[in-house]
Amino acid sequence: MFPQIPLAQQILLACKAKGIQHIVLSPGSRNAPLTIGFASDSFFSAYSIVDERCAAFFALGLAQQLRQPVVVICTSGSALLNYYPAVSEAYYSNIPLVVISADRPASKIDIGDGQTIHQRHALALHTAYNANLSEENSDLAYNEYLLNEALNTAALKCLPVHINAPFEEPLYQTLPSPTVGFDNEVVVKSQVPLSPERLIQFVKDWIYPKKMVLIGVLPPHAIAQKWITWLEEDPSILVLTESTANVVADTFIGMIDTFLSPIEKRNLQELLRPDVLISVGGMVVSKKVKELLRRYPPKAHYYIDEQVGYDTFFTLTHHFKTDINTFLETVTPELPPVSFDYKGIWLPLYKETLEKRASFLAEVPFSDMAVYKAILERTPTPYHIQISNSAPIRYAQLFPCKAGWQVYCNRGTSGIDGSTSTAIGASIVQSLPTLLITGDLSFFYNSNALWCNYIPKNFKIIVINNAGGGIFRILPTDKGTPFFETFQETTHSLTAEHLCTMYGLTYLCAQSKEELTEALEILFSKDKSPMLLEVFTPRELNDTILKDYFQALL
């Protein structure tokens, strides 16, 4: 069954020609031609998500895992604007999200008609291409060109695009077969050639004795084991990673803030300062490493990534637009050996710090810190883990990752607004069971995410409920002001129990170490239905314990 409107047929055929199978739809009338077409074609996997903000993050989760374009479709009017948080996240996380918004014809805009806003270029600042289609049948050839450009851009650049499609009534008529075709323009991704001059300079800089590799957000298995071993064995390279880097190795430093705390106290930053910094992957969580490398900048900074090349430390020498495996395969035959043991200087201090850390954690009272310790020690492998922003992703950096975990977080814009929806979308196409670790504000803010018929039985959520925005107690704010609790920390007495009843999730709760241990055992041993564990922690104790943790490392 095809929509009668030729433009809607064209969009349907374009997505099929590009092999885009996953389509996330929100209800509406103006987008009915697209809904009819996508939902009735078995080639597509269509999902119905009512809340547009949730729908966009759900689609983002799908695209995050598939690393292929996923379409999200809405009706006209303000529905489109609800996509913007997810679109901006996709833009800064290099995720190919395809937004298709149904629109009124141009003649109906600004005449007082309902559900009309200016949709053309509405997302332009955070999309790589904007295709403003025409409802006129005489423009079908031009529409075909725009659709090719938009969908090819999403796939090749791994960035979001916006396709705005105006439809005139009637909207619901159908045909047994399409009346238009689609000439698919196939574009093959080409490798960007590496600058010979920059490669020569990189080889020259390699003779410096201190080289630091900083690994940000990467999908699992992005770095071949061959090169992980090579990085481990070179004494002149110190590798710092984060949980979202999805790289675990014995000689890599995986808890950056824990490592840097005693270095700051002992004024060893100048000694640690790398001569050469090599960045790999996306965003970095650690504020401490950003402060270190801005205050003690390297002599040269090279960024190796197919998509991004951030000048985070204001010292970027060059961005090599390729993946780390291709780059190392190209450059390593030319690299001279460097005997300086930069790694050997710092690993003993790191080991000493970890011993102090272990002593502190062995005695830590029930708190956010104790809860994250218990969760991350007891989460089995292999597992797909999604972590919400604010305090959860920061706490996660204080604990080691296990080989076999696949860890994700919406670090593009670091917002709390769509973590649950993203995790649910990601779980749909994940072969591993999924665990979402989230704070209370992020969870309640995105609670409509549970209004979803697609949550797998092996999907699990842990909500750390410290009755407010605990991150603000950690930050250097004045907690004595009369407005702190209401306008910054936003204290509350909400619980997830009734949401679980409404949406059909099994509910567990814990308020002590003993209860938490028992609840985690149940959580990870049963997969008969989605489960949520809510852990209540002491709101006014958590920040003190976190500060004591860093003090204990000195």
The mean pLDDT of 397-413, rounded to a whole number, is: 96
Q: Cα–Cα distance between 396 and 392 in angstroms, integer?
A: 6
pLDDT value at residue 451: 97
Three-state SS for 41? coil
Residue 512: how many other CB atoms lie within 10 Å: 12
Summarised one tens digit per residue, pLDDT across range 480-528 is 666 666 666 678 889 999 999 999 999 999 999 999 999 999 999 988 8
- What are the φ/ψ torsions at residue 396 (nearest 5 degrees)? -60, -30
Give the confidence band of 285 by pLDDT, cuts at 50, 70, 90: very high
Say yes or no to pLDDT of 475 above 70.
no
Using CA of residue 157, residue 158, residue 160, residue 163, what is the dihedral sign? Answer: positive
Strand partners, 164: 101, 132
pLDDT, residue 480, reads: 63
Give the pLDDT score at 259: 97
Angle at 265 between CA 264 and CA 269, to 5 degrees: 30
- DSSP assignment string, 507-540: EEEESSHHHHHHHHHHHHH--SS-EEEEEE--TT
For residues 489 and 540, what is the distance between their CA atoms, to the nearest angstrom? 11
The helices-and-strands tally (H runs, E runs) of the chain is 20, 19
HSE, side-chain direction, 13 A CA sphere, residue 445? 17
Cα–Cα distance measured from residue 406 to residue 67, given in angstroms and rounded to the nearest whole number: 14
Residue 467 reports pLDDT greater than 90: no
What is the C-alpha to C-alpha distance for residues 220 and 292, in angstroms, rounded to an integer?
Answer: 27
Q: Are 145 and 12 in contact (CB under 8 A)?
A: no
Instruction: Indicate whether 550 pLDDT > 90.
Output: yes
Strands (DSSP E) along 167-215, which ranges?
174-175, 211-215
DSSP 296-336: S--SEEEEE-SS----TTS-EEEEE-S-HHHHHHHHGGGPP
**Bridge partners, 48 (sequence order):** 25
> For residue 384, what pLDDT is reported?
98
- Is the peptide bond between 166 and the residue preceding it cis, with omega within 30 degrees of 0? no
Query: What phi and psi, each to the nearest 5 degrees, are found at residue 189?
Result: -70, 130
pLDDT digits (tens, 9 = 90+) for 40-93: 999 999 999 999 999 999 999 999 999 999 999 999 999 999 999 999 999 999
Note the pLDDT tens digit of each residue in 136-170. Answer: 888 999 999 999 999 999 999 999 999 999 999 99
3-class secondary structure, 413: coil
> Looking up tokens 């629109």, which residue turns up?
103
Q: What is the C-alpha to C-alpha distance for residues 259 and 280, in angstroms, rounded to an integer? A: 19
How many other CB atoms sit within 10 Å of the CB of residue 2?
21
With a cut of 90, say whether residue 1 has pLDDT above it.
no
CA dihedral 100, 104, 107, 111 (to 10 degrees): -130
**Residues of the chain above pLDDT 90, percent:** 88
From the number of C-beta atoms within 10 Å of its C-beta (0-12, 13-18, 19+), residue 225 rates as exposed
Q: How confident is the model at residue 540 (pLDDT cuts 50, 70, 90)?
A: confident
528 vs 98, higher pLDDT: 98
Instruction: Please tell me the predicted confidence (pLDDT) of residue 189.
Output: 81
C-alpha span between 185 and 178 (Å, rounded)? 19
B/e letters for 85-121, b = 16+ CB within 10 Å, e = fewer, are bbbbbbbbbbbbbbbbbbbbeeebbeeeeebbbebbe
| Residue 109: φ, ψ to 5° | -80, 140
Lowest mean pLDDT among 125-129, 196-200, 220-224, 471-475: 471-475
Residues sharing a CB contact under 8 Å with residue 356, sequence separation 6 or more, in sequence order: 552, 553
Mean pLDDT of the region 203-208: 97
3-state secondary structure 123-157: CHHHCCEEEECCCCHHHHHHHHHHHHHHHHHHHHH
Give the residues across from 531 on adjacent strands: 460, 506
Chain mean pLDDT for the chain: 94
User: CA 9 to CA 22: how far, in whole Å?
Assistant: 17
Q: What number of residues does the chain have? A: 554
Q: Which residue has the tokens 């997810």?
A: 86
CB under 8 A, 24+ apart: contacts of 272-275 = 272/296, 272/346, 273/210, 273/297, 273/298, 274/210, 274/211, 274/212, 274/238, 274/298, 274/342, 275/205, 275/208, 275/209, 275/210, 275/211, 275/299, 275/300
Higher pLDDT, 398 or 478: 398
Give me the sheet containing 22-25, strands edge to edge: 45-48, 22-25, 70-74, 97-103, 161-166, 129-132
- Quick one: pLDDT at residue 110? 80
Question: Does the pLDDT of residue 115 top 90, yes or no?
Answer: no
